[in-house]
Amino acid sequence: RTRVQERARLRLREFDVGGKFSRLPLPKASVLLPLLVRGGTLHLLLTVRSLQLRRSPGEVCFPGGKSEAIDKDEIDTALREAREEVGLQPEKVEVICRLVPGIDKMNHLVTPVVGFIEDTFQATPNPDEVSDVFVVPLEYFIKPLYYNTLPYKTSSGYVSRMHCFTYEDQEHKMSFRIWGLTAHFAVFLALVIFGKRPTFEVDYDLDNLMSSAENNFMNLYASLYERKKSNL
């Protein structure tokens, strides 16, 4: 377990963007990508949004949400939200890094914060926000059993592909659909840690993963900025 974690830590630290994108003039949000080691392999904890929520009810996501005035930075936001949503105490998370952000459909700048948690963690979901919590082997996001891709055009006209995974969870006897920004972050995390070519196409130059991810993000941001200018 320690060896698996140490290898992942070293890889992740190479991809830490810190506060590099924090000053972009977009409303901020963060998600926590909680990694745990189970049976000698890395797994990722995910949640299902409560059906009572107005936005994206029943969709799979990471614990997270919008930044609040009390948060010092993106890490604070991710840890606070994880505590509120699934009862994960901040001191039980070993934060490793912040990865290249994404932009959600509400045009929030969403920062993925990666941290290790204990495999013994028992989630206590807040029913107002979360209906289910489950884990997926991280390798599923480069070697999936059920995968398809959806062509995707942002509101600003930027065209890319959207990953869509279906994961059959034996423990819950349920099938979960993981797509959108959640799938995007999970794929990037798996590419960073494993350094392997996935069984499907990705919009990255895998030999220059970091610069390629940052370029993709800045192109997306630029397309949003251009649209804002043209709407003035």
Please give the C-alpha separations between residue 27 and each of 103, 107, 109, 150, 180, in angstroms, as whole numbers: 10, 7, 6, 27, 19
Distance CA 36, CA 60 (A): 18
Structure tokens at 161: 């592909």
Per-residue pLDDT at 227: 67
Per-residue pLDDT at 105: 86
Per-residue pLDDT at 1: 77
Sign of CA dihedral 76, 77, 78, 79: positive
Task: Tell me which residues of the chain have a pLDDT lower than 70.
Answer: 155-156, 227-232
Whole-prediction pTM value?
A: 0.94
Q: Where are the domains of the chain?
A: 1-231
Per-residue pLDDT at 228: 59
Per-residue pLDDT at 156: 65
Per-residue pLDDT at 232: 45
- Which CATH class, in words, describes the domain spanning 1-231? alpha beta
Query: What is the CA 43 to chain-centroid distance, rounded?
Result: 13
Q: Beta 28-38 vs 109-116: how paired, if at all?
A: parallel
